Structure formats: structure tokens, C-alpha cells
């Protein structure tokens, strides 16, 4: 038997979205045959999803005429034969336009079929001693009833080669229900972690069907502490396709205290590490939002900090965010979105300056820290763009566009839009500001003087950031 290098398999699409036939390279002689039934690199090379199988099952069928299904479990399958021949039949049981669509195929050991979650699977044995094998990417759970469909349902009208009256069928399969749209399988859901913060609220506005959790419960928001092992273990992570992690400890100065240090590391490092582990185990895509603070601010203003710049955090908050970045990078499917100077629905710098302008106050604002505002709606738009364009997983800088500005220049822009003169905002240095804070007995964390992030990578995906001043006008209107 030849053991020469196997050629790549080929894929054939079907009327059921995501269901594909895989033609395998089977080599045989008078002794038998050899095939690479599953070879991850080759399967990915021809376009099969990296579905992460965790279990291999074999269903041995002694007699021709055995008929099994139609079963609809909430996981993906890769089906093939070790021996024999079958007539396979599949029915789309997912919510959507293709609900009830069917596909049939006579299979021998040279073919395989990838069956996505929510597609009903069945087969009829055409030869004695047929060994039906399948990889799955989740474990069967005792006590859980999965959807099924009657083998002879007239709506889908599968043309079985052996009449069902002559077939060998289990009692359970004989009593399966008829096709019912009300039982269609819903897609996996989205979970927003840190749902009560500025970014979390913006994400929910864009994903109103998402589940929401936070450290503290709120209206429509469940409580989930990622540091609580029992609570994390009890959460149904397998039900989610996407987890958006907007949770963070953002009290930059308080992080320099004993209590703040613990809280900062718990939220910004341990929490993301837990989510990265869960993303590996449950195969969801993890989106994590990070900070310009992971850099020390010494990069040139043009182009600014790039995604591949070595991490160089200054203070405790910055170090905890950098640790979270490293952990998230270990998740197989992740988007790590680094941003700066976030403005959304809640207490923030822009609204503070607006309030001061309206009260007639003339503040002194730091003028040697430079960066770009990132409005939460822009972060939401960029996140959706990465998914819509199927952008490669990895790290992306995201903020609003335009020329980098100092905090003082931003304050002046707010004052002008509030009917005040830009001259009413004076400047001060970070050093002078820090001295004032420390003199009052309060903690102060070091700041990167350059927080401008290079936006070239996100632009290369076709996303054009909106100018920060244009976004500011809309925000204040």
C-alpha cells in the first residue's frame, strides 16, 4: 500500500449553509486502503472551519437497513466511514430562511461530511458491517433532550433507498416529532461582560439581544464575578458564540493603593485570563478592550504606538492591563482592541469640561499628554466591522481619527462648542498636576505622554475612523 504524501481533500458545497462534503484521498490495494480521515492543517487549507473536535465516536451497524436520526445536537460534527456504505440525509433545523432545507448523499469510505451545529443528521446503512465514525466538538450531556425529526416527515420528504417500513429503526426514532418551526434551533448568543460601564452600555445598544453580566446586578444585567470559581463554572459558556469583555478597573490613580492594586489585577488581568481559558474550552470568539496605558508613551507621535510595539507599562493599572493583553492573546479566536481616552454615556472628561464651561469656570488642563478620543460608538462600529469583514484575529488599535490633540486642546474645543473662548482654558504640565495631587495626600499614577495609537492596521481592513472633532460635535449636540 502506498504511503506517499496525501493530496489535499476537496470540498463541495450543499444547499444547506455550512454543510460541506469532503472528498478524501483514499489509497488502496489488494490489502485494503489508507486515508487521512482528519488532518487539521489540510482541512483548514481547503476551507473547513477549525471546529476543535474533543471526542471521536464510532457507531457500528451490523445489518443493512439500520436507519438512525434525524438528530439535531448543538455541536458540529465531522462524519465519515471506516467500513461500509450509507445513504446520508441532513435537514437544516436552524432558525432562518433555510429552515427545513435538505441534502442527501450516498457515501462510502472516500467521503466525509462536515455538519454544522443545528443541522439534523441521519443515515441509512446500505451494507452489513458498516462503521460510521464522527468527530464532535462538545460533549454529550446527560439529562438534556436534543431536537429530533421524524424520519418519514412528509414536509422534508427524504427519499430513503430502503423503505422505512423495511428498515431497522429504534423505538425512540420511530416516535420523533414532525417538523415544527417553533422548535428551530437558535444561533449561539452574544454575552457582554462589564455591561454597566460606558462601553458595555454602548455595546448593548448595538446588540439588544445579547446577554449581560457585571460584577453587580442591574436591570436586565445578571451578576457574575469572574473571580468566583463556582459562579464561572456554573455559567453556560457553551451557549455563546461571542463574548465582548468591556469589564475593567479604570481608577488609574486608585490602582496605586493597596486595595486598588488587588482590584485592578483582578479585573484587568485575572478576569481576561479566565475568559481566554473559557474561549479555548468553549470555542467562542473573545473580544477584549484594552488601553494605550500598556505603552510608556515614548513612541514617535507619527505613526504612534503600533500593535506590535513591545509592552512597556508604567503604573499598576497599566501593568494589569498589559497582563490582560498577554492572557487574551492565548485565546485561539480573539480580537484585542486597544483604545485611548474613551468617551461615552457616563462621567467623562468631555462632559466634565462642558459642565465647567457652563458654570463659568476657567480650568487649567494638562497640555503635554497627547492622544485621540475614542467615542464608544466608534469602538462598537469597529468591533462590528471586524466581524462583518471576517478580519484576521489579533490585536487592533481603535480610536477616532484626526490629528492627535492634548487634553488642553480637547478642553478648548469643548469650551468653544459651549460658547466660551478657548483662551479660558489654560495649560499645565503633567508634573505640576501630579505635584498638586500628591500634595493633597492622594495617589497619582504615571501617565504616558504620547497616547496616540497608529490606526493603519484597522484602516487596512477597510475601516476609516471618524474624525474625533466631528464625533465631538455630534456628541455635544
Judge whether residue 6 has pLDDT over 70: no
- CA atoms within a 13 Å half-sphere pointing along the CA-CB vector of 246: 25
* Beta-bridge partner residues of 156: none
Cα–chain center distance at 154: 39
pLDDT, tens only, 227-245: 999 999 999 999 999 999 9
* Residues 320, 406: Cα–Cα separation, whole Å: 25
Kindly indicate the confidence band of residue 11, based on its pLDDT and cuts at 50, 70 and 90.
very high
Closest CA relative to residue 66, chosen from 82, 85, 80: 85
Judge whether residue 437 has pLDDT over 70: yes
**Separation of first and last alpha carbons in the chain:** 76
* Residues 239, 126: Cα–Cα separation, whole Å: 36
Buried b (16+ CB within 10 A) or exposed e, 142-174: eeeeebbbbbbbeebebebebebeebebeeebe
pLDDT, tens only, 455-471: 999 999 999 999 999 99
Judge whether residue 3 has pLDDT over 90: no
pLDDT, tens only, 322-367: 999 999 999 999 999 999 999 999 899 999 999 999 999 999 999 9
Q: Are 70 and 120 spatial neighbours (Cβ–Cβ below 8 Å)? A: yes
pLDDT, tens only, 183-216: 999 999 999 999 999 999 999 999 999 999 999 9
pLDDT, tens only, 32-71: 999 999 999 999 999 999 898 999 999 999 999 999 999 9
Active site residues: 71, 134
pLDDT at position 146 is: 85
Q: What are phi and psi of 356, to 5 degrees?
A: -65, -40
State the average pLDDT for the chain.
95
* Residues 10, 3: Cα–Cα separation, whole Å: 19
As a whole number, mean pLDDT of residues 263-292 equals 96
pLDDT, tens only, 119-152: 999 999 999 999 999 999 988 877 778 889 999 9
pLDDT, tens only, 410-431: 999 999 999 999 999 999 999 9
Judge whether residue 5 has pLDDT over 80: no
Judge whether residue 1 has pLDDT over 50: no
Amino acid at each position: 500500500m502506498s504511503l506517499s504524501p496525501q493530496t489535499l481533500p476537496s470540498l463541495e458545497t450543499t444547499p444547506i449553509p455550512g454543510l460541506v462534503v469532503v472528498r478524501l484521498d483514499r489509497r488502496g490495494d489488494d490489502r485494503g486502503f489508507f486515508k487521512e480521515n482528519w488532518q487539521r492543517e489540510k482541512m483548514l487549507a481547503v476551507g473547513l472551519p477549525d471546529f476543535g473536535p474533543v471526542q471521536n465516536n464510532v457507531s457500528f451497524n451490523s445489518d443493512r437497513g439500520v436507519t438512525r436520526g434525524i438528530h439535531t445536537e448543538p455541536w458540529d460534527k465531522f462524519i465519515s466511514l471506516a467500513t461500509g456504505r450509507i445513504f446520508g440525509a441532513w435537514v437544516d433545523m436552524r432558525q432562518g430562511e433555510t429552515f427545513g432545507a435538505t441534502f442527501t448523499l450516498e457515501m462510502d469510505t472516500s467521503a466525509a461530511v462536515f455538519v454544522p451545529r443545528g443541522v439534523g443528521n441521519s443515515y441509512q446503512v446500505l451494507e452489513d458491517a458498516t462503521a460510521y465514525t464522527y468527530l464532535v466538538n462538545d460533549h454529550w450531556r446527560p439529562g438534556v433532550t436534543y431536537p429530533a425529526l421524524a424520519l418519514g416527515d412528509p414536509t422534508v420528504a427524504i427519499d430513503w433507498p430502503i423503505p422505512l417500513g423495511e428498515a431497522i429503526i429504534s423505538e425512540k426514532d420511530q416516535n420523533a416529532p414532525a417538523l415544527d418551526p417553533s422548535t428551530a434551533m437558535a444561533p449561539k448568543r452574544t454575552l457582554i461582560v462589564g455591561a454597566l460601564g460606558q462601553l458595555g452600555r454602548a455595546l448593548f445598544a448595538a446588540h439588544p439581544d445579547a446577554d449581560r453580566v457585571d460584577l453587580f446586578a442591574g436591570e436586565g444585567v445578571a451578576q457574575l464575578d469572574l473571580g468566583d470559581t463556582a459562579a464561572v463554572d456554573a455559567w453556560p459558556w457553551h451557549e455563546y458564540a461571542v463574548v465582548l469583555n468591556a469589564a475593567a478597573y479604570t481608577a488609574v490613580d486608585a490602582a496605586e493603593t493597596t486595595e486598588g492594586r488587588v482590584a485592578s489585577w483582578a479585573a484587568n488581568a485575572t478576569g481576561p485570563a479566565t475568559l481566554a481559558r473559557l474561549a479555548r474550552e468553549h470555542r467562542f470568539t473573545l473580544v477584549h478592550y484594552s488601553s494605550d496605558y500598556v505603552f510608556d508613551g515614548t513612541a514617535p507621535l507619527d505613526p504612534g504606538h503600533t500593535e506590535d510595539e513591545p509592552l512597556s507599562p508604567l503604573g499598576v493599572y497599566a501593568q494589569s492591563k498589559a497582563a490582560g493583553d498577554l492572557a487574551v492573546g492565548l485565546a485561539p479566536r480573539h480580537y484585542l482592541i486597544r483604545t485611548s481616552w474613551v468617551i461615552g454615556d457616563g462621567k467623562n472628561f468631555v462632559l466634565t469640561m462642558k459642565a465647567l464651561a457652563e458654570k463659568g469656570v476657567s480650568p487649567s488642563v494638562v497640555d503635554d499628554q497627547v492622544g485621540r478620543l475614542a467615542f464608544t460608538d466608534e469602538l462598537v462600529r469597529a468591533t462590528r466591522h471586524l466581524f462583518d469583514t471576517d478580519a484576521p484575529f489579533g490585536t487592533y488599535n481603535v480610536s477616532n481619527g484626526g490629528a492627535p490633540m492634548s487634553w488642553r486642546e480637547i478642553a478648548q474645543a469643548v469650551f468653544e462648542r459651549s460658547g466660551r473662548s478657548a483662551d479660558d482654558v489654560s495649560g499645565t504640565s503633567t508634573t505640576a498636576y501630579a505635584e498638586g495631587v500628591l500634595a493633597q495626600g492622594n495617589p497619582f499614577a504615571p501617565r504616558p505622554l504620547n497616547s496616540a495609537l497608529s490606526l493603519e492596521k484597522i484602516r487596512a481592513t477597510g475601516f476609516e475612523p471618524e474624525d474625533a472633532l466631528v464625533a465631538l460635535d455630534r456628541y455635544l449636540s
